[in-house]
Amino acid sequence: MVRGRGCFQIRQMRTIVKISPAPLPAQDLYKLLTGIVVPRPIAWVTSRSDKGVVNLAPFSCFTFVSSKPPMIGINVGRRLGERKDTAVNIERAKEFVVNIGDETMIEDIHRTGIAHPPHVSEVEVLGLEVAECDYVKVPRLAATPISLECRLHQSLSFGETGSQFIVGEVVLFHIRDGLSQNCKIDTAKLRPVCRIGGPNYASLGEIVSMQHVGDVRTGPG
């Protein structure tokens, strides 16, 4: 029994499974991590090859790392030890676009996770419309509510599998009219796609609003 706030609570005994990562293969650790770090947003990344082929692929290992200058990061793993087209293109051209799809686009997002050779454009395979960007030569997806024009800031390699954490500085935000006010995005209107473990997705559930606390104005970075 433990003393809570002015009352006694019964502390329930829970069985905990402890997992030591060292003996586990990368595949199992990947499963664990992608089931634990949920829900994840999806960066739907357009990049351009040296032959001018527009590549499109989803990356749910995605976050922002700095607010001023704005920087985002995606983690690109390897396929059978080889770098994925997105990583190759970004490191060569030093620019890319992160498009943010909404829940009506889940099927297309999922389909662009299929591996195609570098000369095949996923944008053409799916018949998706693209639009020119202002600062980078890579096009953005015309239909997505948000696109971020990015310049490569840094690419770091992590772990035994050679995952690359690619950080890009956002040089221009494209935001669909009516989706933001005073730089505040209306998340309910955005209807973002959430990735959970395996080939599973979720849409936004109930939004619970709380009072502001602490240093919410500056945040990280």
Ligand X SMILES: Cc1cc2nc3c(=O)[nH]c(=O)nc-3n(C[C@H](O)[C@H](O)[C@H](O)COP(=O)(O)O)c2cc1C
Binding site for ligand X (CB under 6 A): 42, 55, 57-61, 75-77, 79, 84-86, 109-110, 113, 115, 195
Q: Which is nearer to ligand X, 88 or 180 (CB)?
A: 88
Half-sphere exposure of 63 (CA within 13 A, CB side): 11
Q: How far is the CB of 15 from ligand X (least distance, A)?
A: 32
- Minimum separation from the CB atom of position 30 to ligand X (A): 10
Whichever of 75 and 180 has its CB closer to ligand X, that residue is 75
Task: Tell the smallest beta-carbon distance from residue 57 to ligand X (Å).
Answer: 3
**Nearer to ligand X among residue 55 and residue 99 (C-beta):** 55
Peptide bond into 192 cis (omega under 30): no
Here the tokens at position 139 are 């096009």
How far apart CA 153 and CA 170 sit, in angstroms, is 10
Q: Shortest distance, CB of residue 158 to ligand X, whole angstroms? A: 12
Strand partners, 205: none
Query: How far apart (Å, rounded) are the C-alpha atoms in residues 9 and 177?
Result: 51
Give residue number: closest CB to ligand X. 113
CA 155 to chain centre: 16
